[in-house]
Amino acid sequence: MKINPVFNNYNIVNFKANTKNSKNNNVAEKKYSLIKCFKEKENLTEKYGIIPDEVKVVSSENIQISDEEKALLIEKILESHELAKKNYNFGNIARISFATNIGLADGSWYLGTNFNNTRNDISSICGERTAIVGAYNKLLKSRSLKESSSTPLNFKVKYLAMANHKDIGTDKNGASPCAECLSWLNTQRYFDNDTTIASLEKNKNGKYSLRLNTIGQYLPYRNEVNYVLDKPCEELDIKISKNALEVAALKKMKKEDFLKIAKQTKKLYKENQLANVSGQNIAAIVIANGETFTGQKIDFSKRWFMEPALYAASKAIEKYGNDTKIDCICYSGNSLYTDTYGAFHNDGVVSIKTLGFLETKYADRNTLVISSDNDSINVRTIDDYLPQKFKFHQTYEIK
């Protein structure tokens, strides 16, 4: 990683002086302006020289939209692009800026960009997630207090119109959610399989295409419910995906091996005493460099916890460093829960965020992922969970 040469006395003294609370600041400067600025709405398609009628809709799922919807999506993508550019110019700490326009089922839209206040994830969030939270708040605000207790909010995201600050349509990553955002989209309540990611692509001939992909394509297993049953693992079927079958043959792994790993992980799950606050227990086993590493979910609070597969993988990484090679990740856990109103929700057990993190360096698209549902032990690959063609390449630098 590129480290900025900040560690000299001059910079440190200046930094301290700038961050000190000063009583001499002009009071007017400290107050927020309450004056709204109304600007005439720009015609963005004209500004960028895009003629919606000439834009081809590209979708491997053959998604049909009207000309009106097409023009609207193009405009929403361009709004995202403009916001991302502003965010970049303003000094976002990442050397790239993304923005997303969230379209809800009721026809309303909300725009958000990434917020990187530091170089680490403590105060960083992507455009997709800021827009989702903003859209949720906007919808909630539109309801009266009385309605909020009697009528469901029906917060359903239909579109994510995405772009980054780079020349419109030139960067494929402009519309590829990262593993953290995908882990949000992997949840059931506010997103459906047909929630669509829309982006613009500039073709070699200078013309534009409107790319539409559903999140069902990005996350083929997003609806899966995981179980740990009392009945022995031996009584479950072992279902191996096509990709996993090829990898298993190369690694010389057989059904008995998967059964053994699943049994070990289930035992770890049963023994875990540390997931005692959130109501969800998960255990994971990571096989790296021919060795088995274990991880149990550790709850710090209802929503803060140690993700067990990342925990197990970190033990392997600590031991083998850059030579760590993760062959297999096995999960054991229950994903269903009921909320305070008694409605069922699916929390997920296989962490998309962890698979995405590990796939960048210590695992790869052929790493096997084992989980179980109500009648089978499922053996797949990371590529099955996060198809390579939709992979976000997190290669950007930090300012």
Residues engaged in binding Zn ion (CB under 5 A) = 126, 178, 180-181
What are the backbone angles phi and psi of residue 111, rounded to the nearest 5°? -110, 135
Q: Which is nearer to Zn ion, 126 or 236 (CB)?
A: 126
Q: Which is nearer to Zn ion, 181 or 326 (CB)?
A: 181
Q: What is the distance between the alpha carbons of residues 396 and 374, in angstroms, rounded to a whole number?
A: 41
Q: What is the distance between the alpha carbons of residues 385 and 218, in angstroms, rounded to a whole number?
A: 8
- Give the gyration radius of the chain's Cα atoms: 24
Q: What is the distance between the alpha carbons of residues 363 and 118, in angstroms, rounded to a whole number?
A: 27
State the nearest-atom distance from the C-beta of 352 to Zn ion, in Å.
Answer: 11
Q: Which is nearer to Zn ion, 171 or 180 (CB)?
A: 180
Host H or E run for residue 388: none
CB atoms within 10 A of CB 209: 16
State the nearest-atom distance from the C-beta of 83 to Zn ion, in Å.
Answer: 15
Closest CA to 356 of 84, 126, 112: 126
Q: Which is nearer to Zn ion, 126 or 210 (CB)?
A: 126
Q: What is the distance between the alpha carbons of residues 68 and 347, in angstroms, rounded to a whole number?
A: 36
Q: What is the distance between the alpha carbons of residues 383 and 359, in angstroms, rounded to a whole number?
A: 9
State the nearest-atom distance from the C-beta of 79 to Zn ion, in Å.
Answer: 19
Q: Which is nearer to Zn ion, 181 or 275 (CB)?
A: 181
CA contacts within 13 A on the Cβ side of 64: 0
Q: Give one DSSP letter per residue of 330-359, joined into a string.
A: EEEE--EEE-TTS-EEE--SS-HHHHHHHH
Q: Which is nearer to Zn ion, 94 or 240 (CB)?
A: 94
Q: Which is nearer to Zn ion, 115 or 320 (CB)?
A: 115
CB atoms within 10 A of CB 311: 19
State the nearest-atom distance from the C-beta of 96 to Zn ion, in Å.
Answer: 11
State the nearest-atom distance from the C-beta of 136 to Zn ion, in Å.
Answer: 17
Q: Which is nearer to Zn ion, 178 or 386 (CB)?
A: 178
State the nearest-atom distance from the C-beta of 392 to Zn ion, in Å.
Answer: 7
Q: Which is nearer to Zn ion, 178 or 379 (CB)?
A: 178
State the nearest-atom distance from the C-beta of 180 to Zn ion, in Å.
Answer: 5
217 touches 191 (CB < 8 A): no
Burial label for 170, CB within 10 Å (0-12, 13-18, 19+), is exposed
What are the backbone angles phi and psi of residue 168, rounded to the nearest 5°? -55, 125
State the nearest-atom distance from the C-beta of 396 to Zn ion, in Å.
Answer: 12
